[in-house]
């Protein structure tokens, strides 16, 4: 087995020398393997685990049903516990007794599959943006994004940094911006209130917007993530 990995490593090294540099890790490469029953099968690890299909737009249901669903969604905002920047230091005060966001139905979840809101807590370096896209696409729809701090709006004080992005809404759609450096927990609560209002009015349809303008968002993402080694849609 060791020989096989060496062979794979050599092949990827050759690829790197030949043409443009390949960022796909050797274990993720498309290749042929021998299955336990002796037959040869083709595998492509990146696409075997993910659908790779484009996201679909979901039409709202009609009338009262959608209203009821929106009410339910607004009262149970489950936030993905991914502290992407320095704003995440205000999350513990938000969730503990003083500000107590639980009373609004807000709670933290550990995995994207269980959550429907994403707090981008401040500046995003390109390296984190890649993980953010991956987590965002794994979240079930309908999903909402709250962007914290001036650094997600126009770069803030990192506007000239080579490592952080300037505008978040070029890469993933944003429902509510919360300005400040850094925003206070009260501002965050106000942001949640605003988000609830939007959901109840049926205006928080940014997940559909992402599906509609999927190609445009993908092009923007691929422009700055130079080492794209994941599927186009991580669902």
Partner 1 sequence: MSNKGLFGFKPDRSNYPEIDKDGKAILDLSSQKYTKLWLGPNHPGVTGNMAVELTISGDEVVEARTHVGYLHRGFEKLIERRLFVQGFPTSIRMCVAEPDTNEYLIAQCTEELSGYADKVPEMAVWLRTLVLELARLQGLLRGVPGQAGTFSLGIGVQWGVYLRDLILDRFEELTGARVYHMYIIPGGVRGLLPAGFKKRLEENLKEIDDFIVRIHQLMFNNSVFKKRSVGVGVIPKEWIDQYGIVGTTARASGVKRDVRKDNPYLVYDQLDFDPPTATDGDIYARTFVRWQELIQTVDLIRQIMAKMPAKGDIRAKMPNVLHWRIPKGETYVRLESGRGEYGMYYVTDGSDKPRRINLRGPSYTHGIALLERMLVNANIADVHAIMVSLQVCPPEIER
Partner 2 sequence: MKAIVQEITEKYNLQNAVFQRDNMAFVEVEKKFAIDLVTFLKDYHQFSHFVMMSCVDWIEDGQFQLLYLLHNPALKVDIGIKTYLNRTEPVMQSAHHLWKQIWTYQREIKEAFGIDFPGSPNVDENFVLEGWTEIPHMRRDFDTAAYSEKTYFPREGRFTHDPATYMREKLYPNQPVTAKKNTNE
Residue 45 sits in the site that holds partner 1 (CB under 8 A): no
**Should residue 181 be labelled a site residue for partner 1 when binding is judged by CB under 8 A?**
yes
- Within residues 112-151, the interface with partner 2 by CB under 8 A covers 126-127, 130
Q: Judged by CB under 8 A, does residue 234 bind partner 2?
A: no
Q: Which of residues 146-165 bind partner 1 (CB under 8 A)?
A: 157-158, 160-164
Distance, in Å, from the CA atom of 119 to the CA atom of 147, rounded to the nearest integer, reads 6
For the bound state, the minimum distance from the C-beta of residue 1 to partner 2, rounded and expressed in Å, comes to 24
In whole angstroms, what separates CA 9 from the centre of its chain?
31
- Report the distance separating Cα 116 and Cα 109, nearest Å: 9
Shortest Cβ 150–partner 1 spacing (Å) = 12
**C-alpha to C-alpha distance for 80 and 117, rounded to whole angstroms:** 6
DSSP 4-24: HHHHHHHHHHHHHHHSSPP-S
Of residues 120, 165, 176, 189, which one binds partner 2 by CB under 8 A? 165
Q: In whole angstroms, what is the distance from residue 168 CA to residue 174 CA? A: 7
Q: Looking at beta carbons only, is 164 or 208 nearer to partner 1?
A: 164
Is residue 128 near partner 1 by the rule CB under 8 A? yes
Q: How far is the CB of 77 from partner 2 (least distance, A)?
A: 27
- 3-state secondary structure string across 151-215: HHHCCHHHCCCCCECCCHHHCCCCCEEECCCCCCHHHHHHHHHHHHHHHHHCCCCHHHHHHHCHH
Structure tokens at 211: 């599906």
Name the site residues for partner 1 (rule: CB under 8 A).
1-2, 4-5, 27, 80-86, 88-90, 92-93, 96-98, 108, 110, 112, 123, 125, 127-128, 131, 135, 157-158, 160-164, 181-182, 184
Name the site residues for partner 2 (rule: CB under 8 A).
23, 126-127, 130, 153-155, 159-167, 170, 220, 223-227
């Amino acid at each position: 087995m060791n020989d096989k990995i060496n062979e794979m490593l050599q092949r990827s090294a050759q690829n790197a020398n030949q043409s443009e540099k390949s960022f796909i890790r050797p274990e993720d490469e498309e290749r042929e393997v021998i299955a336990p029953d002796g037959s040869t099968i083709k595998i492509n690890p990146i696409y075997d685990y993910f659908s790779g299909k484009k996201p679909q737009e979901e039409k709202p249901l009609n009338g009262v049903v959608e209203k009821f669903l929106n009410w339910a969604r607004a009262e149970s905002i489950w936030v993905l516990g991914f502290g992407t920047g320095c704003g995440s230091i205000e999350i513990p005060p938000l969730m503990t007794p003083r500000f107590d966001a639980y009373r609004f139905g807000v709670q933290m979840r550990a995995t994207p599959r269980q959550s429907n809101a994403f707090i981008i807590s401040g500046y995003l370096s390109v390296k984190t943006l890649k993980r953010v896209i991956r987590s965002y696409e794994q979240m079930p729809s309908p999903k909402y994004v709250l962007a914290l701090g001036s650094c997600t709006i126009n770069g803030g004080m990192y506007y000239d940094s080579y490592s952080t992005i300037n505008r978040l809404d070029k890469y993933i759609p944003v429902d509510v911006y919360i300005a400040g450096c850094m925003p206070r927990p009260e501002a965050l609560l106000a942001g949640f209130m605003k988000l609830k209002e939007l959901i109840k009015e049926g205006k928080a349809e940014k997940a559909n917007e992402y599906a509609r303008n999927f190609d445009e968002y993908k092009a923007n993402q691929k422009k700055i993530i130079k080492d794209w080694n994941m599927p186009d849609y991580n669902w």
